[in-house]
Amino acid sequence: MTSLDYAQMFRIDGRHAVVVGCGGIGAEIAAGLAAQGARVSCLDKDPATAAAVRDRLAAGEDPGHAAHAVDVLDEAALADLVGGLGDVDVLVLTAAINVRKKLLDYSAEEFDRVVGLNLRGTFNAVRAFAPDMQRRGTGSIVALTSIRALVVEPGQGVYAATKAGVAQLVKTLAAELGPSGVRINAVAPGVVETPLTAQIRADEAWNRAYAEKSVLGRWARPEEMVGAVCWLASDAASFVTGSQVMVDGGWTAVDGRFTPPFG
């Protein structure tokens, strides 16, 4: 491998990036990858969501960005789509769901739904895209996990289990894909202001408790997840694989919410 061009090592000009799950954080990630020079294919189960992000990226021009509706749990449809996308250099996986309930209150259907999308969906997407990356000897995959891959709270058990599972899949895939030149990493967000967390932020005490748990004393904005993903997608992270990058405002770095007195 040639020496890195420090002036360009964060750029991904001319590369084809696929973002699976284009709502909320996924939309900002797609915009960030495009801003760094990538041609972005926006994939989402909801065609309107994918199209809206594609249109935002195009901004009146057509640099090749695309939108496709696909359900990552439909393996046949996913395989058909992948076959028509051409070479993919960057794959970002954001699609996930959460049902907030105590474990003993979960139904079997709810358990299967959360595990299905979060864990099986990640598995399906990597199985669909990684073989061509292996064949070409290059590629970067980034899966979004969560602080819940490391720490839990009541009502988050199944979601936490899936995110921990994705983190372990990332490590195993790093070992298995690395010899072919393909890297895979995870980005673990903390609490982020998205439509999915609107219920929490509407509760003043809950909203404040989450903000204060971060050492930065606030929630994250969706765009604050973008830098880590773009870095992992770029040559600046060429020797980074099997890692989970915490983008959590220090949530998992500190023990509890109490600052003891000094002096």
pLDDT digits (tens, 9 = 90+) for 111-164: 999 999 999 999 999 999 999 999 999 999 999 999 999 999 999 999 999 999
What is the three-class DSSP state of 125?
Answer: helix
Q: What is the pLDDT of residue 54?
A: 96
For this structure, is 106 an active site residue? no
Note the pLDDT of residue 126: 98
Say if CB 228 and CB 187 are below 8 A apart: yes
- Among the residue ranges 59-63, 78-82, 154-158, 204-208, the one predicted with the least confidence is 59-63
- Predicted local distance difference test score (pLDDT) of residue 255: 80
**Is residue 258 over pLDDT 80?**
no
pLDDT number for residue 199:
84
* CA contacts within 13 A on the Cβ side of 209: 8
Quote the crossing angle between the two packed helices 75-85 and 121-136, to the nearest 10°: 30
Q: What is the DSSP letter of 119?
A: I
Mean pLDDT for 175-192 is 97
Position 58 scores a pLDDT of 81
Catalytic residue among 6, 106, 159, 210: 159
- Reported as a pLDDT band with limits 50, 70 and 90, residue 18 is very high
Structure tokens at 46: 């909801």
Q: How much is the average pLDDT of 189-209?
A: 90
Query: Distance between CA atoms of 208 and 217, rounded to whole angstroms?
Result: 9
Alpha helices in 43-107 (DSSP H): 47-58, 75-85
Domains of the chain (ranges, CATH numbers): 16-251 (3.40.50.720)
Gyration radius of the chain's alpha carbons? 19
Residue 229 exposed, middle or buried by CB count within 10 Å (0-12, 13-18, 19+): buried
- What's the whole-model pTM score? 0.94
